[in-house]
Structures are given as structure tokens and as C-alpha cells.
Structure 1
Amino acid sequence: MASNETPRQWLQRTASRGARWSRLSVLAGTLSTLVLLVQAWCIATIAQRMVIDSTDFSALVTPLLLLPPAFIARGLLVRARTICGARGGIEIRQSVRRELLERIAVLGPLWARRQHSATLSNRIWDQVDALQGFYADYRPQMLLCGIIPIIILIAVAPLSWAAALILIATGPLIPINMAMVGIGAKKRQEDQFLEMGRMSRHFLDTLQGLSTLKLFGVSKRQADEVHTTSESFRRRTMRVLRLAFLSSAVLEFFASVSIALLALYLGFVYLGQFHFGMYDHGINLFMGLFILILAPEFYQPLRELGVHYHAKAQAEAAAEDLMPILNRRVFERDTDQPAWQPKGSLALSLEGLTARYAGRSSAALDDISIEIRAQEMLAVIGPSGAGKSTLLNVLMGFMHPEAGSLNVLESDQTPRALIDIRSDDWQLQIAWVGQTAVIVSGTLAENLRLANAEASDQDLLDALEQAALQQWLTGLPDGLDTRLGEGGRAVSGGQARRIALARAFLRDARLVLLDEPTASLDQASERLVMEALARLCKGRTVVLLTHRMELLALADRVLMLDQGRVQALETLDNLRAPGGPLARSVSAHPSETRDV
């Protein structure tokens, strides 16, 4: 994918995702024009034979019978064109949104955390939705602008070359005006998107800090700032809409003047003032009426294109903001690597591994060389900023080292570098439980199947039992179908943490990563979580981040980090021995839980 791709090129390339609907929309519009020719012929024939030729009623039967079906068919084709255009736009938007979410997943949580959540959600929803008008209306209409006028010119030119010449000469007035309007429309749309992002960030920050604002008595002042921001966005939106409405009015004016010129020419021909442009057969009532019926349709595609021109400016502005994410270069493993499925326990080897965050001068992990044995629990401790979370991010594949290597060792297998394993295969072998358990709005079963979409109901029940949630489950009104989260049943912190553990059981991964799994829990919940952790970690390789002495006691070895470097890697007993780094953390009362 070219890094210098323009928004217009990206929009054209992306259009292929809904090409079938776009083709059907254009086909329906073309057939609608052909049906219009039949309508015009019927109306002009009836007028000619009744008013000028004074023929019998029998001569009017054919056009009278054709006219009603033609009206019905044209209405159905216009509806089909609208539906096909809308379906094409929806299909493309869904594809772009899916690609955007996949790209965000590839970029990882480290990148996502650096983005403001309001800006990110604005891109995923509002800016992707801004593409709808371009693909549903503007692009099919642009193709019809090259088809419908040609069909009408082919029908009109044999009757009067002068009428055809008037159509050809006045037609470009509308696209020229559209181009002039478009210069300012895109800039205004870009400004509106920027203002929308700023307003979204400001409003979300205000909501998140509302309790603090009330505590300090400045909520009223903040409300005034929200009003000012929303007013600024309203004014920018009205400027965009004003430009769209004014451009539509100008397009209608040019189209009306052009049709008036054609009608004026035909009028002077009937008065005998003009004697050109008629070939040798002259222009009778049938020809004049036929041409006048078709004339508005000649300009209609151009007028509709002008009406939808702001959709093009809106889509280009949205594409310009989405492309940096969609085209962002990320660390990519070799996609030709065969699928990887470990056959036994996993061990990890870090050799001279150095990792650094973007824009930071100091390394978060500096020349780390350790072995994580198969089926061992390795606890990682250290002060804030020591590199503990960075180590987890490296192990999960969200952060890639700038030096050194991370190798995966299976039992009786040759060590394999992590970069040689496809990221989806690797992450399938990881179960992660963090400090904050995410509960989505949905049923309990849906929350659990986030870890394993193919899990049966019995698998879910077994996982809940392993996570000490069976008793809680029996008290739920609808069992696994009980709705949780927003609009559903409230879940306590301890219950949410054990739901996260149940997901880990469902994952059945070889490698378990734990980040302060008992943080902020009461003693009863902590005890249940620790019992579930003991069951989860059995027979698996575990890396545990914690400051709790009770959790450290479960570990086979403890890794001490400080400023990204290894300070010690020993058993807990050796670290707590007299003169050891943790000697001072030994409580005078062994039953008392202490932080280290």
C-alpha cells in the first residue's frame, strides 16, 4: 500500500468492496432513463395525434397502454437504485470499520492508550459513517452523469442538432460550478471534523471528571465551556450546510436557465423566427414535446451530483483522518509461516532483550536475559517504572524489542523465535487477567465466550465452577442468559475478577499472564480469587505481576526489576533470607499479609 496515496485514490480503491451494489445502482439508473424515453414517446405521441393529427381513438391505444406501466416501472427502478446505492454504502462502511478495528487490534493496547478515547470512537463511528453519502449517492451518480446525458443526446440529436448543441453547451455550467463550490467545501468539512473531535474529547473529559468539578465548585463554569464548544461546532456545521444548500440553489438556477434556452429556441422555431437546426423534416409538436420532456432529465444527473457533492468533500475529509491509522506501518511477522500449535508446555528464553517506548530516551527493559521454565510460576516485582508492565506487553506481542530476542521453547522441540510465530497463533496460547476486568453489555454466556466463541454451555458451567462462581450462578434469575453490564445485573469487583478468571479457564492456554489479580479486593473476594488462581496456574507457565506477599508465596521464583534491569532472580525464601532484598518485608506476624 503506497504511503503517498491520496484520500481520493483511497476512496476509489475502497469502492471495490461494494462494487456489485454500485453496478446494480447504475444499471437501475440507466434502465430508468430508457423507460423515460418510452414515457416521453407516449406523451408526445398522444399530444401529436390528438391535437395536430386529430386521429381516431384507436391510434392512441398503444401509447395509452404503455404509459401506466412505464410510470410504474420507472418508480420501481428509482427505488431499486436508491436501495442498491444504500446497501453498497453500508457494505463498504462495515468493511472499513472492521478493517479499522482490526488495525487498532494489531497496533495494540499501547498505541490505543495514547489516543484519546473520544477521538478514537469518533473515527470508528462518525468518520466511517461519513463515507456513506459518497458511496451510496455521489459515486453512482458520477457514473450516471457519463451515461444518462449520452443516452438523451442520442435520442435528441436526430430530431434537432441545434437542441443537442444547446444541451452540450449548457451542460458544463453545472460541473464548473460544482468544482468551484468543492474547493471550499472540503476545507470546511475538515474543520468540522476537527471541531467534532475536539468537542468529543472535551465532553468526555468533563463527564469523567464531573465529580471532581463538583467537589471544587467549578461545574457551572465547565458547563459554560461545554456550551461554548457546542456552539462553535454548531456554527461550523451550519456553515457546511449553508454551502450545500446555496450550491444546490445555484445548480437549480443554471439548470432552469438551460431548459429555458431550449424552450426559447423551440418557441421561435414554431413562430417561424428560427430556421436552423431542424435538418429537412422540421420540428413538429411531437418532436418539440419529446425534447422538452427529456431536457430536465439531461441536467438531472448533474444537479443530483451537485446536491451530493458535499458528500464527496465529507468523505475525503474523513478518509484523510482514517488513512494514517489504516496505512500505519506496524511490526509484521512473516505471513507465510505455517500455523503453529504447541504440543506441550511452553518455556521462554529472553536473551539480551531491550525494549523502548516511542519518544523515550531510556529503555523500559535494558538487556534482559532470563529463562522462564515450563510450568513454573514466575512472580515479577519492582517499583513503579521498573519495567514490569513492559515485560508483559513484550510477552503478549504488543511491544516489539529493539534488540535481543524472545524465544519459545516447547518440550523436545527446537527453540523458535517469537517473531517467527504468527501473532494470532501466539496469542491463542495466552490467557491474561488484569487489574480491571471488562464486563460488556450482554449475557453472562456472551461475556464468557469472549475467550472461546465455540465453548458449549457445559464448558461455561465448568469454567464458572473453577472460578468459584457456581454459587453466584445459582442466584442469577436467568442463569447463563442473565444480562450483565449496562442495563443488566450489577457485578461486584470480586465477581468481575472471577469472571475474568473463568475466561482464562475457557481459554485453556499454555501461558498465563497475571497483572495484580487481587488488587482492590476485600479479604473474602481475595481468598476466592487466590483459590481459583491456584487451580488455573496448575500445569501452566505463569508470569505474575504482584506486590502481595501471599501471591508471591505461590511463585516458584521471583524476578526483581529496577529501571528496566534484572536485580535478582531467586526463590522467595532466598530473597527473604537475612541480608536478602526482601528481608525487611518479612512480617513479625506471619499470618499478616504485607505488600512488598
Structure 2
Amino acid sequence: MRKKTNPVQNFLKEKKEPARRFIGASVFLSCISGALIIVGAWVLAGIVYDAAFQKVAFPDLWPHITTLIFLYVARGLLNAVADYLAYCGASKVKQSVRSDIVQSIIAKGPMGLPDDKSGSILNAYVDGVEALQGYYMLSLPARITATIIPLAIFFFIFPLDLISGLVLIVTAPLIPVFMIWIGRGAERLSQKQWRRMTFMGGRFLDVIQGLAEIKLFNAGKREGETIRRLTESFRHDTMAVLRVAFLSSLALEFFATVSIAMIAVLIGFRLLWGEIEFRDGF
């Protein structure tokens, strides 16, 4: 049985080459930042434990507080550099894709391009290429990082508390499952919106090019009403896509909250029963 290939995914994977080093460096720095989250949480737990239960004086806590501040500052710097590298990578991809479009137009020549596709080509060159920014700058690095950092958290939690680790293993997979399920619906709607936006771009460019004929035949009011109707329909469909996107965010937040709540309740009872140290539970 032949495996179905997604042409969009194939295109995105193929065009990733100019940004590979930038995205790799961005992911590496993001993973270090994620590791600092774990270290910072451990240091913070130690500060709270020493202050609340060991009655350690504030001057003795100051080195740990300084370490915590340093960790948060380092995280901020790492995230800023990672975002900048991802931005540079996305810019390289956009530059490469726009260059490919121009080279393709030059290769075909004026006679090889259909007149009714000029608006679609312009829309792809401007808006279509610009839409790649979000994927290569945000989505792709976040997808890789979201695979690595949870594994690091699992490896850190399991030696400290096996029960909490098992709860995470049960609840954490619910997040990507629903992310994929809802994301596919959003993908279909987004592709539909893109086709409609391409059609609208072509239609609007045709109107601009034919202004003299429209004025000659006194069809300006009719064309204006047509554009208004298309724009209103596009606005309604855009809101439908946004509803699905917000539903996706709500579902992810819900399952993340359920996972955290289950662990928090278990840790609370086990602290009450004396089965776990406060520092480990924190």
C-alpha cells in the first residue's frame, strides 16, 4: 500500500534547506532554555523549602536567589537569540522562494503566463510567501522543541516521583492527539480560505486592469457590489477559521490543566500523608 504524501508538507520540507542551520541553532538554544526551566524550578523549590521548613535566614538564601535571577535572565537572553535566529532562517526561506517564483516567471516569459492568473501569482508572491514566516519562525522550531523538552522533564521527574511521572505519561499524550485532530480541521478551512483569497486577488487585479472598460460600460456600481459581497463572505469564513483555532487552543489548555490538576491533587494528598518530601513535591 503506497503511503499518501502531502504536497504542502513536501514543499515546506524542500524549502527548509536555506534555514536549516538557523533553525537548528534556534532549537538548540530553546532546549537549553527549557533545561534552565527545570534547574530554576529545582532552585526555587530549595529556596522555599529552606525558608519555610528549615528556617534558614535570608542572608544565607541570597546566593540561591542570585542563582535563580541569573537563570531567568539567561533564559530571556537565550529565547531572544533563538527568536532572532529563527527569524533569520524564515527570511532566508522567503528570499529563496521569491527568487524561485521570479526565475519561474522569467523562464516562462510573457507568453507562457495565462492572463487570468496574474492576480494569483501576485498574491502568492506577496501574501503566500509572507505566510511562510510563521511556519519557519514559530511553528517548526516549536514543534521540534515541544518534542525534546517534555522528554527531558520526564527523565527529571521519574527519579524523583514515579507516580507523578506515570500520571504525566497517561495524560500528556492527550494534548498532541487533540492537537492533530483539531489541527486537521483548521488546515482544511485554511486551505479553503487561501483558495478564496487567491481568487479574490485575481478578481481585484482584473477589475483594476479593466477600470477603463468598466467605466465605459457604466458597470462600476455592479463591480463594487460584487467585490463587497465577496469581501463579506470572506470575512465570515475567516471568523469560522478563527473559531476552530480558538477551539484548538481551548482544548489544549483544558487537557494541560487536567494533567497539572491531577498531579497537584496527588502530590497534595501525599504531602499530607507524609509520603513525599516538600522539595520533591514542589
TM-score by length of 2: 0.93
1:570 corresponds in structure 2 to none
Identity of aligned residues (%): 35
Structure with greater contact order relative to length (CA < 8 Å, sep ≥ 6): 2
2:93 corresponds in structure 1 to 92
Structure 1 contact 93–132 (Cα < 8 Å) conserved: yes
- Structure 2: distance between partners of 1:199 and 1:54: 69
Tell me which moved more, 251-260 or 33-42. Answer: 33-42
- Structure 2: distance between partners of 1:25 and 1:144: 9
1:285 corresponds in structure 2 to 278
- Structure 2: distance between partners of 1:9 and 1:61: 53
- Structure 1: distance between partners of 2:136 and 2:34: 21
- Deviation at 1:210? 2.3
1:165 corresponds in structure 2 to 166
1:510 corresponds in structure 2 to none
- Structure 2: distance between partners of 1:80 and 1:56: 37
Structure 2 contact 116–202 (Cα < 8 Å) conserved: no
- Alignment partner of 1:133 is 2:134: yes
1:117 corresponds in structure 2 to 118
2:34 corresponds in structure 1 to 33
- Deviation at 1:163? 0.7
TM alignment of 1:471-490, pairs within 5 A: none
- Alignment partner of 1:261 is 2:262: yes
| One-letter amino acid of the counterpart of residue 217, structure 2 | F
More helix by share: 2
What's the Cα RMSD here? 1.7
Which SS does the other structure have where 2:160 is aligned?
A: coil
If you compute each CA radius of gyration, which structure gives the higher value, 1 or 2? 1
| One-letter amino acid of the counterpart of residue 230, structure 1 | T
- Structure 1: distance between partners of 2:89 and 2:249: 25
1:182 corresponds in structure 2 to 183
- Deviation at 1:224? 0.8
| One-letter amino acid of the counterpart of residue 66, structure 1 | T
Which SS does the other structure have where 2:205 is aligned?
A: helix
Structure 1 contact 47–285 (Cα < 8 Å) conserved: no
- Deviation at 1:59? 3.9
Which stretches in structure 2 are left out of the alignment for 5+ residues?
A: none
Structure 1 contact 199–233 (Cα < 8 Å) conserved: no
TM-score by length of 1: 0.45
Structure 1 contact 18–91 (Cα < 8 Å) conserved: yes
Structure 1 contact 119–201 (Cα < 8 Å) conserved: yes
1:103 corresponds in structure 2 to 104
- Deviation at 1:114? 4.3
- Deviation at 1:149? 0.6
TM alignment of 1:123-522, pairs within 5 A: 123-272=124-273, 282-289=275-282
Which stretches in structure 1 are left out of the alignment for 5+ residues?
A: 276-281, 290-596
| One-letter amino acid of the counterpart of residue 246, structure 1 | L
Which SS does the other structure have where 2:159 is aligned?
A: coil
More strand by share: 1
The CA deviation string for residues 219-271 of structure 1, in whole angstroms up to 9 with x for no partner, is: 11221111001112212222222211221111111111111111011011022
- Deviation at 1:80? 1.7
The CA deviation string for residues 132-181 of structure 1, in whole angstroms up to 9 with x for no partner, is: 21111111111112210111111111110111111111111111111111
- CA distance 1:130–1:247, shift in 2 (3 Å): same
- Alignment partner of 1:47 is 2:75: no
Which SS does the other structure have where 2:147 is aligned?
A: coil
| One-letter amino acid of the counterpart of residue 221, structure 2 | K
- Structure 1: distance between partners of 2:56 and 2:147: 39
Structure 2 contact 43–64 (Cα < 8 Å) conserved: yes
| One-letter amino acid of the counterpart of residue 231, structure 2 | S
The CA deviation string for residues 73-104 of structure 1, in whole angstroms up to 9 with x for no partner, is: 11111222222222211111111111121122
- Deviation at 1:37? 2.1
- Deviation at 1:58? 5.0
- Deviation at 1:199? 0.9
- Deviation at 1:115? 4.8
Which SS does the other structure have where 1:283 is aligned?
A: coil
Which SS does the other structure have where 1:245 is aligned?
A: helix
The CA deviation string for residues 366-403 of structure 1, in whole angstroms up to 9 with x for no partner, is: xxxxxxxxxxxxxxxxxxxxxxxxxxxxxxxxxxxxxx
- Structure 1: distance between partners of 2:250 and 2:181: 14
| One-letter amino acid of the counterpart of residue 277, structure 2 | N
Structure 1 contact 159–283 (Cα < 8 Å) conserved: no
Structure 2 contact 25–82 (Cα < 8 Å) conserved: yes
- Alignment partner of 1:67 is 2:68: yes
- Deviation at 1:16? 1.9
